[in-house]
Structure 1
Amino acid sequence: MDPQKIFDYSEESPAERIARKSKDSPFMIIGIAGLIGVCSYGAYKFKSRGKMSTSVFLMQLRVAAQGTVVAALTIGIGYSMAQRYLLKEGKKE
């Protein structure tokens, strides 16, 4: 067995941390991008919400943003489980 490489995360820059996180869990980054997209769309549509109250609009926006993140993470978990258990590409112990 190879000895594990010791890595001090306190020496890591923010850009290196995002790169490492995207390699470890790419669907988290997709979820965050979806969250930013939904929030940007909500900010764009805020002026044209019509007679809808602000609190109802923001509640619907929050549900859409959370749904986007949960969907991305669920797809990521499903993909990971399919690779590990159905396609047998996981590490053999």
Structure 2
Amino acid sequence: MTVMEYEDNESKFMRKAKENPFVPIGMAGFFGIVAYRLYKMKSRGDTKMSVHLIHMRVAAQGFVVGAMTLGVVYSMYKEYILKPAQAQKALEQKAKEK
């Protein structure tokens, strides 16, 4: 393996984060919600522990699914709206040059 083929984990993560920016947002939201709900566990009142944990899991999963959905919509927008528009502009520029 040469030096050019080697890619450390940090640069691989940064490259992947640039390709799909909603993945790190989903991860950050997940950990943020879990940390917040664990902090609030002290003041849960009469709520059973299992119910509190289920609510935490549902909130965290909901955030991740929402981030993934937004990521898919964003990638579809880039692929099916922006690319054809750029291709159309390039064709118009080519036609003007002739």
Bucket of the pairwise TM-score, normalised by the shorter protein: 0.7 to 0.9
Query: Which of 56, 65, 72 is 1:61 aligned to?
Result: 56
Q: Deviations over 1:8-57 (max 9, x none)?
A: 4xx43332222122112111111001101101111110100001011100
Please give the alpha-carbon distance, in whole angstroms, between the structure 1 residues aligned to 2:61 and 2:68. Answer: 11
Rg (Cα) greater in structure: 2
Query: Which of 38, 48, 70 is 1:75 aligned to?
Result: 70
Gaps of 5+ in 2: 88-98
Letter in structure 2 aligned against 1:32: M
Q: TM-score, normalised by structure 2?
A: 0.74
Query: Which of 3, 7, 12 is 1:12 aligned to?
Result: 7
Please give the alpha-carbon distance, in whole angstroms, between the structure 2 residues aligned to 1:39 and 1:48. Answer: 15
Aligned residues between the structures = 83
Percent of pairs with identical residues? 45
Q: Deviations over 1:45-78 (max 9, x none)?
A: 0100001011100001000000000000101111
Please give the alpha-carbon distance, in whole angstroms, between the structure 2 residues aligned to 1:89 and 1:83. Answer: 10
Please give the alpha-carbon distance, in whole angstroms, between the structure 2 residues aligned to 1:80 and 1:90. Answer: 15
Gaps of 5+ in 1: 1-6
